[in-house]
A and B are shown apart, each in its own frame.
Chain A
């Protein structure tokens, strides 16, 4: 019999928040993390709510699932605000996001998108250039208009990760560095076997291993098609703080935001080079040049700032929808993998996992998000 009530596999944002919620209800929690550090630890801090044009373009088949999940994103941002108030500051700012249009077609696309998002309860508005000038006068002259999504925001993930980790420690959560390679269920005990053969046991397990979840759950029912998407990011030296919004583009891959430190983070879906599970993904020249050059064209006033660092991290996609719920084949294993934009959804999904483990009704209706949907 294990000493632990809940074994959390994966110490990223989902695992941390699941552990905090469980330990907050006096559960004994162990987090086992493989230390790859390419997920939450490499995140750039966007709080996404509106549909990302990047996602619609790259995964058109998954877009309906994301659209159906929009209310979840709204709720997730509120969960972030709750955590920020309790354990912050995470440097969380929620002044909205602007998705820019450089031509008539793009503006039409945004108008159509805004109507669909409004129907799902998002607070959105199409702005023309004159209205935009009042909010963001530093945009390039070619920008015709934008969709403003008031629900969006940004935070500093370094601050959030450090503070949430400290809170987990304070609650007595234990951390262990190991890569879980297989799961075994023995009556009321889940045993997770580590890379070196060590076994971690608990009454229940939460699989919060992002893109590693699919491979880990192999053989436990219909396969969870989690996919790693290696992405590129850049950060500048600090400058005068003027950019309040999360900036995106109607057609091209970019997120741009300014932290409270004055540093600007540029990312948004440019490819990085996946070097396998043993090391973090590496940076590609074309992504750095393309990503930064696009940022300079959209926001010319950042041109004199210098890029200090680039890095690469993993985004996880499944089918556009979060996977949360008990495994039908092993009810003491709970899967917790957010759909796209995992860092935004992470705390909500983590909390739901803890609620399920405690036998409580989860914070959102999980019926449509269970792992059994992958059955052919």
Chain B
């Protein structure tokens, strides 16, 4: 009989399932600590989507590999990532896969619901379309596809499967496992694919990079076992792995409710769900607006709440995390709600306190942005066709500012058709029907978020010891201290404190630093208030940059 496939982790044998990520396999085996920081603390899976860079491990000698983005293979040698990886030569270039240069009509970056719809629409309108996604399996965060070849869990996953098939049928060239790390004027994109370089010079580009989750920064939020709600959902929906036996979920918004139910259905014990907003029955007007905008989706929400009630999972409203501590290998979660301060012991704490758009490519290329006070993030200025202020650059879905999955799908269809028509010098035709749909979805979103609390929490009452920059381990106290020097700009505070200088490139601390400085200066937030956008969009190996330089030798 064939031996069960395994990976070796620090000398232990860890069983794996075909298609599973390393992060999922290690989590299933109860391993939570993946790397050590230079200050000696431990880190594990946090974002689950390749941005936080905290689940780094060494894989077959290659340091700093993201466990959440690495497919587990039988016999892999995996070890805890030490803070300072040994310097070692990369394999010679002649062994790297060949580099490719492509010039599609339309490049779609991101294979979520917005990107898939955009790619299908553009291909059906006659354009040659290439869609790139960082994950091996397309679908993105909302449609989250299974990577372990199971039947779809529910309608949402089945819908994604259909969309991926439709994209294939429409002739979209889809490549997964691609890291787009460079975006330059004139629409030049540099990417890494399996160690080789991918150089893309599209005529039009549709950015559909979605959003990432805003954490609830609280003492202990960097501990292994604390992760975003989306990371827990990926473990379950994509890899059929529970984040832990007993979990708690805190923050705000509908994703927390949905994932609480999904994890419970998957067999987890959900100890508590904490929502920052007030009980929905106190917000009748928004409830009515929701039903008016989309009765089906409103009903889905009601059913989820009923599902939690049925399973006796308590939702605490007006609930706020106070702190997390490690106790005997588990997590002691302290939170406060209207009835007082409580503590619960769990294996995993999930958090989602709203979303931040992944707008790095848009900002790099100079697309105009404006600050949205209600959501506390930048929104990209777009015309009727979803084209930004940069010619040939379109933005769809949450990367342009939070709008939700149904709106992303419609925006994708509009941008796909418009980009294809523009490539082919054809008239766009009537898109008023799509815009009518978009208005309805936006009305729903707006009512939905009025029931939650999407604006970023102020840190006025947060403790000095709270870590804000998880990469460089910079605390709120250090940032407050630096404010007394009147830095005047987030970049100045970054240079003074190192906040934002780590591997996640300021994705988590950047918005906080920008807000702290804005509060101090009294200046309104705008695009320029944030850290300056810079390549690489994600950390990229020197070997991959060398491969791109060889591929482009002398062409730029």
A239 at the interface (CB under 8 A from B): yes
B151 interface hit (Cβ, 8 Å):
no
Q: Is the CB of A305 within 8 A of B541?
A: yes
Chain B min CB distance to A231 (Å): 15
- Which residues of B, 173-223, contact A by the 8 Å Cβ criterion? 182, 184, 188, 190
Q: How far apart are the CA atoms of A138 and B550 in the complex, in Å?
A: 22
Given contacts A41-B495, A292-B549, contact A242 B489 (CB under 8 A): no
**Chain A residues with CB under 8 A of B545:** 288-289, 292-293, 296, 307
Which residue from A241, A288, A296, A310 sits with its C-beta under 8 Å from B543? A296
Indicate if the CB atoms of A262 and B89 lie closer than 8 Å. no
B552 at the interface (CB under 8 A from A): yes
Contacts of B501 in A (CB 8 A): 308-309
Question: When chains A and B are docked, how far (Å) is the Cα of A284 from the Cα of B183?
Answer: 10
**A238-B90 in contact (CB<8A):** no
Give the complex CA separation of A312 and B550 in angstroms: 23
B85 in contact with A286 (CB, 8 Å): no
Contact (Cβ within 8 A) A307 B536:
yes
Mark out the residues of chain A between 272 and 310 whose CB falls within 8 Å of any chain B CB in the assembled complex. 280, 283-286, 288-290, 292-293, 295-297, 300-310
Measured CB to CB, the closest approach of chain B to A222, in angstroms, equals 35
B498 at the interface (CB under 8 A from A): yes
Instruction: Check: B431 CB closer than 8 A to any chain A CB.
Output: no
Query: Which chain A residue has the least Cβ–Cβ distance from B83?
Result: A238
Check A296 against B542 for contact (C-beta < 8 Å). Answer: yes
- In angstroms, Cα B87 to Cα A138, docked, is 9
Cβ A240 vs Cβ B86 within 8 A: yes
| A293 and B543 alpha carbons, distance in the complex (Å) | 8
Q: Are B556 and A303 in contact (CB under 8 A)?
A: no
- A-side interface mostly: mixed
B505 near A304 (CB under 8 angstroms)?
A: no
Task: Flag if B88 contacts A304 (CB, 8 Å).
Answer: yes
* A223 contacts the other chain (CB 8 A): no
Q: B88–A301 contact, CB under 8 A?
A: yes
Query: What 0/1 readout, one digit per residue, does chain A (74-100) give for beta carbons within 8 Å of chain B?
Result: 000000000000000000000000000
A37 near B542 (CB under 8 angstroms)?
Answer: no
B488 adjacent to A289 (CB under 8 Å)? no
Are A300 and B85 in contact (CB-based, < 8 A)? no
Stretch at the interface among A63-71, A158-166, A205-213, A350-358: A158-166
Residues of A within 8 A of B88 (CB): 301, 304
Query: Complex Cα distance A78/B64, Å?
Result: 38
Q: Is the CB of B62 within 8 A of A304?
A: yes
Q: Which residues of A contact B188 (CB under 8 A)?
A: 285
Are A304 and B541 closer than 8 Å at their CB atoms?
yes
Q: Check B526 for interface membership: any CB of A closer than 8 A.
A: no
The CA of A311 and the CA of B495, in the complex, are separated in Å by 13
List of A residues within 8 angstroms of B556 by Cβ: 285-286, 289
With beta carbons under 8 angstroms apart, the residue of B535, B542, B549 that contacts A310 is B535
Known A239-B86, A301-B88; judge A293-B549 contact (CB<8 A).
Answer: yes
Residues of B within 8 A of A239 (CB): 63, 84-87
Are A241 and B84 within 8 A (Cβ)? yes
- Flag whether A35 is at the interface (Cβ < 8 A): yes
> A297 CA to B88 CA in the complex, in Å?
13
Q: In the docked arrangement, what's the CA distance between A82 and B85, Å?
A: 33
Contact B546 A35 (CB under 8 A): no
Complex Cα distance A301/B63, Å?
Answer: 12
The complex places the Cα of A307 from the Cα of B64 at a distance, in Å, of 12
Which residues of A lie under 8 Å from residue B294 when comparing CB positions?
none
Does B101 lie at the interface of the complex (its beta carbon under 8 Å from any beta carbon of A)?
no
Give Cα A216 to B128, complex, Å. Answer: 54
A307 to chain B, nearest CB (A): 6
Measured between alpha carbons, how far is A288 from B532 in the docked complex, in Å? 17
Which residues in chain B, 24-72, are within 8 Å of chain A measured between CB atoms? 38, 62-64
Task: Determine if A105 is an interface residue (Cβ-Cβ < 8 Å).
Answer: no
Chain B, range 400-457, C-beta contacts under 8 Å to A: none
Decide: A309 near B534, CB < 8 A? Known: A37-B491, A165-B485.
Answer: yes
A262 touches B546 (CB 8 A): no
Structural contact, B548 and A306, CB atoms closer than 8 A: no
Closest to A41 in B: B495
- Tell me if A372 is interfacial: C-beta within 8 Å of chain B: no
Q: Are B539 and A310 in contact (CB under 8 A)?
A: no
Residue A142 lies at the interface, judged by CB distance under 8 Å to chain B: no
Instruction: Report which of B485, B491, B532, B540 forms a contact with A307, defined as CB distance below 8 A.
Output: B540
Chain A 246-284: CB-based contact to B (< 8 A → 1; otherwise 0): 000000000000000110000000000000000010011
- Which A residues from 338 to 352 make CB contacts under 8 A with B? none
Which among B90, B535, B548 is the interface contact of A283 at CB below 8 angstroms? B535
With A37-B491, A237-B64, A240-B85 already in contact, the answer to whether A309 and B546 are too (CB < 8 A) is: no
Q: Is the CB of B542 within 8 A of A289?
A: no
Q: Name the distance in Å between A31's Cβ and chain B's nearest Cβ.
A: 13
In the bound assembly, the distance between CA atoms of A149 and B488 in angstroms comes to 40
A131: CB under 8 A from chain B?
Answer: no
From 170 to 225 in chain A, residues with beta carbon under 8 angstroms from any chain B beta carbon are 175, 177
Contact of A240 among B87, B190, B486, B489 (CB under 8 A): B87
Interface residues in B221-255 by Cβ distance below 8 A to A read: none
Hey, which chain A residues are within 8 Å of B90, CB to CB?
Answer: 296, 300, 303-304
Determine whether the beta carbon of B38 is less than 8 Å from that of A238: yes
B283 at the interface (CB under 8 A from A): no
B535 touches A308 (CB 8 A): no
Q: Which of B83, B488, B539, B541 contacts A177 (CB 8 A)?
A: B488
**Complex CA–CA separation, A33 to B496 (angstroms):** 16
Is A169 on the interface with B (CB-CB < 8 A)? yes
- Cβ-based interface call for A106 (8 A): no
Tell me the complex Cα distance, A239–B62, Å: 12
Task: Give complex CA distance A165, B487 in Å.
Answer: 12
Q: Any chain A CB within 8 A of the CB of B502?
A: yes
Please judge, given known A-B contacts A237-B64, A308-B502, A308-B505, whether A303 and B495 are in contact too, CB under 8 Å: no
- Looking across the interface, which residue of chain B has its beta carbon closest to that of A273? B185
Q: Does B492 contact A (CB under 8 A)?
A: yes
A37, A280, A292 — most chain B CB neighbours (10 Å): A292
Nearest CB of A to B194, in Å: 15
CB pair A262–B552 under 8 Å, yes or no, is no
Cβ contacts under 8 Å, A158 to chain B: 495-496, 498
Is B542 a contact partner of A236 (Cβ separation < 8 A)? Answer: yes
Q: Provided the pairs A296-B545, A304-B62, A304-B542 are in contact, do residues A285 and B87 lie with their beta carbons within 8 angstroms?
A: no
Given contacts A242-B87, A288-B535, contact A309 B505 (CB under 8 A): yes
B549 and A161 contact, CB distance less than 8 A: no
Give, as a whole number of angstroms, the nearest-CB distance from B362 to chain A.
15
Contacts of A240 in B (CB 8 A): 84-87
**Once the chains bind, are B84 and A238 in contact (CB under 8 Å)?**
yes
Please state if A169 and B541 are interface contacts (CB–CB under 8 Å). no
Q: How far is the CA of A311 from the CA of B536 in the complex (A)?
A: 10
Tell me the minimal C-beta distance from A140 to chain B in angstroms: 9
Which of B62, B496, B542 has a CB less than 8 Å from the CB of A302?
Answer: B542
Contact partners of A169 in chain B: CB under 8 A: 485
Q: How far, in Å, is B186 (CB) from chain A's closest CB?
A: 9
In the bound complex, do residue A303 and residue B549 qualify as a contact, i.e. CB atoms below 8 Å apart? no
B536 proximity list for chain A (CB < 8 A): 307-310
What mask results when residues 144 to 161 of chain A are scored 1 for a CB within 8 Å of chain B, else 0?
A: 000000000000001001
Q: Beyond A289-B548, A292-B542, list 16 extra A-B contacts (CB 8 Å).
A: A41-B492, A165-B485, A237-B64, A239-B63, A240-B85, A288-B182, A289-B552, A290-B549, A292-B549, A293-B550, A300-B90, A301-B88, A303-B90, A305-B87, A307-B542, A311-B534
B: residues with CB less than 8 A from A are 38, 62-64, 83-90, 182, 184, 188, 190, 485-486, 488-489, 491-492, 495-496, 498, 501-503, 505, 532, 534-536, 539-543, 545-546, 548-550, 552, 556
Interface residues, chain A, with chain B CB atoms under 8 Å away: 35, 37, 41, 138, 158, 161-162, 165, 169, 175, 177, 236-242, 261-262, 280, 283-286, 288-290, 292-293, 295-297, 300-311
Identify the 9 closest CB pairs spanning chains A and B, nearest first.
A303-B90, A293-B549, A306-B539, A289-B549, A301-B87, A303-B543, A292-B545, A296-B546, A285-B184
Can you sample 10 A-B contacts with CB below 8 Å?
Answer: A37-B489, A237-B539, A285-B182, A285-B190, A286-B556, A293-B546, A303-B541, A304-B85, A304-B541, A305-B542
